[in-house]
């Protein structure tokens, strides 16, 4: 398989590294374009991939073309590559908020798959959600899902769910990290050194995620397992379960989802 990346930022680099690590795609069969020469040089040196200054040059005869650019840059990039993309190629957009309709309006007749990954792909633990466009076949979406599994878990959902997906898993790493930092600051206030509190919070966050995903524990089951009558967890949960806490988190997700909708135009 030959794979192109339009944009050579962190997300593209994470995918490149994952494809090489899993031996899914060889370096000489990956093609990357980026406007910054220093970025091109870095990717060439670290991974041995082919690099280009012009977007249309990177498209070439790839089987899959990843659009890994900022949402506000997507239309310009689509116009750059419109003449280079053929009907035989699968175009995969990871631009947050931008709908399949927007992409297909410029790349007429092309096979488009929209994907919402997250930053955890840098650690090989991404959560990626995908959906196919009007011309994408079932084989196309299976091919994309196969590639996405190289750096995490995947889920197929209809496009109408993508604003919520963006808010929960796309922005989620920042939200979880903020909550973790709040716990760290509280731990420091209780007498811990900052590096001690960081390790406690971060490893606990990692371990909790594994309990839920790998051990199949339900959230309610986990909370009950940690809690004991008149114990420390129960004391803390009395504060955390107050309605205003849940309301603040709901408002956080709502704000992110609304911004995703605004970016779709």
Supply the mean pLDDT for the chain. 95
262 pLDDT band, cuts 50/70/90, is confident
Q: What is the pLDDT of residues 81-107, one digit of tens each?
A: 999 999 999 999 998 888 999 999 999
61 pLDDT more than 90? no
What local confidence, expressed as pLDDT, does residue 133 receive?
A: 96
Q: What's the pLDDT at 250? A: 97
* Mean pLDDT along residues 199-204: 97
The pLDDT assigned to 260 comes to 87
For position 265, what pLDDT does the model report? 64
Read off the pTM.
Answer: 0.90
Q: Is the pLDDT of residue 264 over 80?
A: no
Q: Compute the average pLDDT of residues 165-178.
A: 95
| DSSP-assigned letters across all residues of 149-195 | GGGEEEEE--GGGHHHHIIIIISHHHHHHHHHHHHHHHHHHTT--HH
């Amino acid at each position: 398989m030959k794979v192109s990346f339009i944009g050579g930022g962190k997300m593209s680099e994470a995918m490149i590294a994952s494809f090489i690590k899993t031996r899914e795609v060889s370096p000489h069969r990956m093609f990357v374009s980026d406007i910054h020469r220093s970025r091109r040089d870095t990717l060439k040196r670290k991974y041995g991939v082919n690099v280009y200054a012009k977007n249309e040059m990177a498209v070439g005869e790839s089987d899959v073309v990843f659009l890994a650019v900022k949402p506000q840059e997507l239309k310009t990039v689509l116009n750059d590559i419109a003449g280079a993309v053929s009907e035989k190629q699968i175009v995969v957009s990871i631009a947050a908020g931008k709908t399949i309709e927007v992409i297909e309006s410029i790349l007429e007749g092309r096979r488009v798959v929209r994907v919402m990954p997250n930053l955890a792909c840098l650690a090989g633990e991404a959560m990626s959600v995908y959906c196919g466009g009007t011309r994408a076949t079932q084989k196309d979406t299976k091919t994309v899902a196969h590639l996405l599994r190289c750096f995490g878990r995947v889920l197929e959902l209809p496009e109408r769910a993508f604003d919520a997906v963006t808010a929960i898993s796309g922005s989620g790493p920042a939200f979880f990290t903020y909550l973790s930092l709040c716990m760290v600051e509280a731990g420091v206030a209780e007498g811990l050194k900052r590096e001690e509190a960081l390790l406690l919070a971060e490893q606990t966050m990692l371990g909790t995620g594994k309990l839920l995903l790998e051990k199949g524990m339900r959230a309610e089951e986990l909370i009950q397992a940690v809690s004991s009558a008149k114990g420390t967890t129960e004391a803390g949960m009395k504060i955390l379960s107050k309605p205003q806490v849940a309301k603040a988190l709901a408002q956080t997700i709502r704000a992110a989802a609304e911004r995703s909708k605004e970016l779709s135009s």
